[in-house]
Amino acid sequence: MSVIETFENSEFNPHIEIVEQEDERGVARMLFVDDICQSALWLDPALRGEPVLKYARRMREVVSREFKDRPPKEILVMGGAGLEVPRFLLRDLPDAHITVVELDPLMEEIAEKYFFLEDLRYGGRLTLTIDDASLFMEKLVYQGEHDRYDLIIGDAFCGIRAEIALLTDKACAHVRKLMTDQGAYLINLVTAISGSDSWPLLMERDILLRFFGAVRAYPATPDQDQEKVQNVIMASDGYAHQENEN
């Protein structure tokens, strides 16, 4: 593994590294925040739309499963970093438009320099907005722009912790208002499936069930010990409980 560049001047992410690592599949470029890999891509142009990280590969499978017969057209991704998730969505869903909301303006500069952001913007199918994701949703709801997105993804992290503002009742209420009735909300959590370290999953499941009709958990590594912490994709559908429709 070789370090390409280090950034220490971000207000939101104190230590960022761009590294490259080679394995039998090729060379991957990775973005680390505080020693946690947040995004990656294959440098081989033929592989560039294929997700590298295990959680991103699982996210791709979940999107395919949740939208088997109705590909999403309008997508909101909260959390950008190196744009690994938007990259495979653009490749897999040729009719989709994706809005990415990223808090840290330095991430946009890094994505332009190292993660081929301009290639993703080509054709107008990706819009990158620098903003706080929870405030971005609040503004849309205040403006009355409801039922806008077929798919909303919460993938904003501070180190290994999901952005807490996206895990609240308020955030879920905004997501529900911005999501179409046939849509889905996916959240990337770091949690165990069972045992003492499963509290993030249990907490978020309880919140989601107050606003959505069903919640499913997809571990990134299904055959791993369920008491060990890993990435888990939480999926909620657009059928809200009636009492939360007001």
Arithmetic mean of pLDDT over the chain:
89
CA distances from 125 to 76, 87, 113, 122, 151 (A): 12, 11, 20, 7, 15
For the cut 70, the answer to whether the pLDDT of residue 241 exceeds it is: no
Angle at 113 between CA 233 and CA 122, to 5 degrees: 75
What pLDDT, on a 0 to 100 scale, did the predictor assign at position 113?
96
What pLDDT, on a 0 to 100 scale, did the predictor assign at position 239?
52
| pLDDT tens-digit map of 139-185 | 999 988 776 899 999 988 554 455 567 778 999 999 999 999 889 99
Distance from C-alpha of 189 to C-alpha of 175, rounded to nearest angstrom: 17
Looking at the chain, the whole-number percentage of residues with pLDDT higher than 70 is 93
| pLDDT tens-digit map of 184-210 | 999 999 899 999 999 989 999 999 999
Phi, psi values for residue 167, rounded to 5°: -110, 20
Distance from C-alpha of 137 to C-alpha of 130, rounded to nearest angstrom: 13
What pLDDT, on a 0 to 100 scale, did the predictor assign at position 9?
76
For the cut 90, the answer to whether the pLDDT of residue 238 exceeds it is: no
For the cut 60, the answer to whether the pLDDT of residue 240 exceeds it is: no
The domains of the chain, with CATH numbers, are 47-244 (3.40.50.150)
pLDDT higher for 122 or 100?
100
- Contacts of residue 138, defined as CB under 8 A and 6 or more positions apart, other chains included, come to 174
Which ranges constitute the DSSP H helices of the chain?
54-66, 84-92, 105-114, 117-121, 133-142, 169-178, 199-209
What pLDDT, on a 0 to 100 scale, did the predictor assign at position 156?
80
Rounded average pLDDT over 216-240: 87
For the cut 70, the answer to whether the pLDDT of residue 243 exceeds it is: no
Q: What is the band of 235 on the pLDDT scale with cuts at 50, 70, 90?
A: very high
What pLDDT, on a 0 to 100 scale, did the predictor assign at position 157?
56
